[in-house]
Amino acid sequence: MRIELENIKKSFRKKEVLKGISLSAESGTCIGILGGNGSGKSTLLSILAGVQPCDEGRFLCDGRDLLRDTALRGRAVGYVPQGTPLMEELTAKDNLSLWYSKDAMERELENGVLRMLGVDRFLKTTVSKMSGGMKKRLSIGCAVAKRPPILLLDEPSAALDLECKENIAQYLTLYKQGGGILLLATHDAAELALCDQWYILKDGLSLSYQYDGNVERLVKSL
């Protein structure tokens, strides 16, 4: 599988946030999307997920435009935004039931992604009473219910404790090894190490970056 972003543009009123974002990725790779606050990282991922439209551009998957083929996008793309796309009044199990069949949920809780993310430990907890880490792990579990080959994640481990970050990193590593494509907006050093390519969004454009493990140098370049 190959994905290509071609000339993605987005303006809000008279401000151009994305001036023509282009990049590509093959199966089994992770693309790091970097940039300062307001650089357009969240806007780009939300466009690719179909949450909002772009003004121009294409999101190709093996030549088919996912921005226009909504049925294919629904099967091919999983999305974990910065916020919590969960039903606050429901338990973790009730939220999962909106995405999984009963049998599939039981399999994943016993020996699958939901077990790996530790969701099995708080199934009866209401979302409104969960910690940030619980919500994020549950959000990822819901996003990958249909096993999408493309996963978009917006700062997935921001403000989480070390154990939770390790759980998420372990899953993302296995997802990539299984042939999935990750587009990951992050500043976290551990997540940066998962990436095979890095792009900085700056002045509305995507700039290829060679990350050498020096976070301080990276931050100065944003």
Over residues 103-151, the pLDDT tens digits come to 999 999 999 999 989 999 999 999 999 998 899 999 999 999 999 999 9
- pLDDT reading at 75 higher than 80: yes
Rounded to whole angstroms, the Cα distance separating 44 from 67 reads 12
pTM summary value: 0.93
**Is residue 28 in a domain?**
yes
Whether residue 32 lies inside any domain: the answer is yes
| Mean pLDDT value of segment 83-100 | 95
CB within 8 A of 41, min separation 6: which ones? 33, 34, 35, 154, 185, 201
Percent helix / strand / coil, the chain, rounded to 5: 35, 30, 35
Residue 163: band (very low, low, confident or very high) from pLDDT cuts 50, 70, 90: confident
How many structural domains does the chain have? 1
pLDDT at 35 exceeding the cut of 80:
yes
Instruction: Answer whether residue 188 shows pLDDT above 90.
Output: no
CATH number at residue 190: 3.40.50.300
Residue 59 lies in a domain: yes
* Domain presence at residue 185: yes
Residue 204: what pLDDT?
92
Q: What is the pLDDT of residue 209?
A: 86
| 6, part of any domain | yes
pLDDT at 28: 97
Q: Residue 8 sits in which domain range?
A: 2-83+149-221
Residue 139 lies in a domain: no
132 vs 180 pLDDT, higher one? 180
144 located within any domain: no
Higher-confidence residue of 110 and 221: namely 110
φ and ψ of 134, to 5 deg: -60, -45
Could you tell me if residue 96 is inside a domain? no
More confident residue, 94 or 211: 94
Q: What pLDDT score does 104 carry?
A: 96
Per-residue pLDDT band for 196 (boundaries 50, 70, 90) equals very high
Nearest to residue 214, comparing CAs of 197, 194, 192?
A: 192
DSSP state letter for 126: B
The closest of 17, 156, 11, 9 to 81, measured between CA atoms, is 156
Query: pLDDT (tens digit, 9 = 90+) per residue, 16-31?
Result: 999 999 999 999 999 9
Residue 126, pLDDT score: 97
Q: Quick check: 54 pLDDT over 80?
A: yes
